């Protein structure tokens, strides 16, 4: 959809409705947030459920609610004179305040207040300043920072069966059944979801579902930091943190368009079996992998091999074979140079294109 370059950061993002009937994900990307240096950035992914109203609202207003806090704005402006501890105290307080304030505002949206709209949304946001990376997570979307090829910082999902979450839910008079809050909601922290936030005598962060984010902080290391990934559970359902770091790191050696890489991740997740909406933002730091001619050569050889194999398989069946069977036959081949973390699933679009070119008629009927 777009990519940009400022302060040495580049980003790309992509989203796909996938197999779901509705698209409830939303995102935001702001390089150069107001009142700050133009290198301070904010990125976030929101995964809505039971409708898209809350997630859409969050993508438009969360940063403004956070910025409204003086603690946040001042600590960020003084990052070079404050100690890490002092700065983080202000930032965390400000972000928490922003989440709580936004949740109160959401409750007052007429359709939400009337109970007609019961939607909720997870939120994973990343603030990138000169010196730090701060991930704030509420729910089961996830942020993963890749440093020298490996996940070095990753948020943990708020699942109802996690011990501290379960304790809060039970203290609020609820229960965790089939790993869901009251047997129903699969995530234990979210914005919105006011059906789960009406327990008398309990504060906003003590309810069955809490809007409180958890923080993950890393000092930036310009020589080592490669890229940050924010994505919703539709991606993480089928990709581990390690796999996504390997896959994206590999694709960065093949081409430099981050939006294309985002699309490749999402296509790969679709073919790995994800049934959900999918959204992803990749933020590349100056030390992200660069296009590498040796990797490009291996990729070209792999593509040539795939093209040859697909031709052979189709010819062996007298031009009468479904795409699914072609793919099945390729699984059994020992292919060299498949992208790590993505495997054959990441080449499925390429395989499909060759198939359609060779068998345009069957291609139309069966794909
Ligand atoms: Mn989802």
> pLDDT tens, 317-327?
998 999 999 99
Computed over every residue of the chain, the mean pLDDT equals 95
Mean pLDDT on 333-342: 94
Do 119 and 53 form a contact (C-beta atoms < 8 A)?
Answer: yes
pLDDT at 105 over 90: yes
Residues 6+ apart with CB under 8 A from 156: 137, 162, 214
Which residues pair with residue 268 across a beta bridge? Answer: none
pLDDT bucket at 63, cuts 50 / 70 / 90: very high
- Percent of the chain scoring above 90 in pLDDT: 92
Report the separation in Å between the CA atom of 45 and the middle of ligand 1, taken as the mean of its atom positions: 11
> Tell me: the pLDDT tens digits for 240-275?
999 999 999 999 999 999 999 999 999 999 999 999
Report the separation in Å between the CA atom of 118 and the middle of ligand 1, taken as the mean of its atom positions: 16
Give the pLDDT score at 299.
Answer: 97
Report the separation in Å between the CA atom of 328 and the middle of ligand 1, taken as the mean of its atom positions: 28
> Tell me: the pLDDT tens digits for 155-213?
999 999 999 999 999 999 999 999 999 999 999 999 999 999 999 999 999 999 999 99
326-332: long-range contacts, CB 8 A cutoff, minimum separation 24: 326/351, 326/355, 327/351, 330/306
Place of tokens 């109160």: 104
Give the pLDDT score at 334.
Answer: 87
Give the pLDDT score at 208.
Answer: 98
> Tell me: the pLDDT tens digits for 117-161?
999 999 999 999 999 999 999 999 999 999 999 999 999 999 999
Ion ligand 1, residue ranges at CB < 5 A: 47, 232-234, 276
CA 44 to chain centre: 8
Residues 6+ apart with CB under 8 A from 365: none
Give, rounded to a whole angstrom, the gap between the first and last alpha carbons of the chain: 25
Q: Cα(263)–Cα(16) distance, rounded to whole angstroms?
A: 9
Report the separation in Å between the CA atom of 274 and the middle of ligand 1, taken as the mean of its atom positions: 10
Cα torsion 147, 150, 156, 157 to 10°: value is 120
3-state class (DSSP) for residue 260: helix
Report the separation in Å between the CA atom of 53 and the middle of ligand 1, taken as the mean of its atom positions: 15
Do 347 and 306 form a contact (C-beta atoms < 8 A)?
Answer: yes
DSSP 263-329: HHHHHHHHHTT--S-EEEEEEE-TTS----HHHHHHHHHHHHHHHHHHHHHHHHTTT---HHHHHHH
Give the pLDDT score at 44.
Answer: 98
Do 39 and 14 form a contact (C-beta atoms < 8 A)?
Answer: no
Question: Which token pair is 106?
Answer: 């959401």
Question: Which token pair is 203?
Answer: 């504060």
* Maximum Cα–Cα distance across the chain: 73
Report the separation in Å between the CA atom of 62 and the middle of ligand 1, taken as the mean of its atom positions: 19
Question: Which token pair is 51?
Answer: 């409708």
Do 26 and 55 form a contact (C-beta atoms < 8 A)?
Answer: yes
pTM of the model: 0.95
Q: Cα(155)–Cα(230) distance, rounded to whole angstroms?
A: 10
DSSP label of 255: -
Report the separation in Å between the CA atom of 235 and the middle of ligand 1, taken as the mean of its atom positions: 8
pLDDT bucket at 365, cuts 50 / 70 / 90: low
Report the separation in Å between the CA atom of 196 and the middle of ligand 1, taken as the mean of its atom positions: 19
Place of tokens 């990709």: 239
pLDDT at 344 over 90: yes
Q: Cα(11)–Cα(323) distance, rounded to whole angstroms?
A: 34
Question: Which token pair is 287?
Answer: 């030390």
Give the pLDDT score at 361.
Answer: 77
DSSP 47-108: EEES-SHHHHHHHHHHHHHHHT-HHHHHHHHTTTTS-HHHHHHHHHHHHHHHHHHHHHHHHT
Q: Cα(272)–Cα(6) distance, rounded to whole angstroms?
A: 34
Give the pLDDT score at 39.
Answer: 85
Which residues pair with residue 9 across a beta bridge? Answer: 6
Give the pLDDT score at 284.
Answer: 98
> Tell me: the pLDDT tens digits for 17-51?
998 989 999 999 999 998 888 889 999 999 999 99
Give the pLDDT score at 12.
Answer: 97
Q: Cα(1)–Cα(12) distance, rounded to whole angstroms?
A: 7
Distances (CA, A) of 254 to 64, 94, 149: 37, 40, 15
Give the pLDDT score at 1.
Answer: 39
DSSP label of 185: B
């Amino acid at each position: 959809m777009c990519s940009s370059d400022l302060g040495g950061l580049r980003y790309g993002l992509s989203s796909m409705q996938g197999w779901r009937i509705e698209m409830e994900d939303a995102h935001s990307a702001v390089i150069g947030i107001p009142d700050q240096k133009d290198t301070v950035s904010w990125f976030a992914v929101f995964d809505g459920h039971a409708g898209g109203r809350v997630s859409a609202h969050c993508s438009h207003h969360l940063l403004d609610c956070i910025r409204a806090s003086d603690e946040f704005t001042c600590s960020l402006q003084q990052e070079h004179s404050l100690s890490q501890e002092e700065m983080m105290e202000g930032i965390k307080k400000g972000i928490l305040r922003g989440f709580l304030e936004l949740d109160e505002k959401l409750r007052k949206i007429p359709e939400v207040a009337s109970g007609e709209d019961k939607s909720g949304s997870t939120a994973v946001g990343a603030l990138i300043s000169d010196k730090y990376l701060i991930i704030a997570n509420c729910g089961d979307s996830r942020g993963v920072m890749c440093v020298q090829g490996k996940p070095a910082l990753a948020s943990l999902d708020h699942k109802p069966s996690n011990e501290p979450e379960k304790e809060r839910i039970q203290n609020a008079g609820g229960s965790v059944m089939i790993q869901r809050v009251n047997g129903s909601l699969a995530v234990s922290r979210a914005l919105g979801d006011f059906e789960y936030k009406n327990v008398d005598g309990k504060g906003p962060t003590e309810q069955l579902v809490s809007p409180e984010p958890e923080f993950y902080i890393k000092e930036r290391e310009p020589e080592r930091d490669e890229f940050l990934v924010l994505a919703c559970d539709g991606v993480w359902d089928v990709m581990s943190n390690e796999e996504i770091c390997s896959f994206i790191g590999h694709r960065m050696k093949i081409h430099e368009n981050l939006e294309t890489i985002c699309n490749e991740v999402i296509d790969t997740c679709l073919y790995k079996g994800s049934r959900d909406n999918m959204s992803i933002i990749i933020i590349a730091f100056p030390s992200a992998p660069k296009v590498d001619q040796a990797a490009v050569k291996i990729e070209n050889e792999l593509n040539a091999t795939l093209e040859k194999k697909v031709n052979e398989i189709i010819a062996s069946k007298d031009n009468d074979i479904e795409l699914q069977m072609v793919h099945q036959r390729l699984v059994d081949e020992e292919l060299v140079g498949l992208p790590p973390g993505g495997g054959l699933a990441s080449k499925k679009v390429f395989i499909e294109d060759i198939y359609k070119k060779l068998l345009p008629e069957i291609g139309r009927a069966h794909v």
